[in-house]
Amino acid sequence: MWLSKRITREAADSRAQKGNITISGAERIEAMSSANAQRLGTYTPYGYTSSAPIGEEVIVLPSSDGEIALGTRCKAEQLDSGEVMISSLGGAKILLRNNGDVVINALVIDKNGVIHND
């Protein structure tokens, strides 16, 4: 009986949890989920590096090296299906549109390399 309760508790502790970033630093972050997760490593797709701001929602996962943060919640309300946007807290944006355009802030470069500065 006590063993089955322990196994059930350990299984519940090994699930992914949503949390919010409470401290954001150069290499590690902290997030509050059901408990305060400290010194979290962060994982992003290869080639991307970011420092998520305080308050952003993350997924906290257990790993063999302790808990990790897996990305931030996606805010794709401005995107059509298949489009990609990279943005910063300060408002800088790079948008890859489905028609081949690349939009850097307000500067549009079409798929032929022609710059449209409206």
One domain for residues 24 and 68: yes
How many structural domains comprise the chain?
2
Beta strands, E only, the chain: 17-24, 29-32, 36-43, 57-63, 66-72, 84-87, 93-96, 102-104, 107-109, 115-116
What is the overall mean pLDDT for the chain?
84
Residue span of the structural domain in which 104 resides: 84-116
67: in domain: yes
Instruction: Choose between 83 and 30: higher pLDDT.
Output: 83
Per mean pLDDT, which of 27-36, 56-65, 87-96 is the most reliable?
87-96
pTM: 0.70
Per mean pLDDT, which of 9-23, 52-66, 92-106 is the most reliable?
92-106
One domain for residues 107 and 49: no
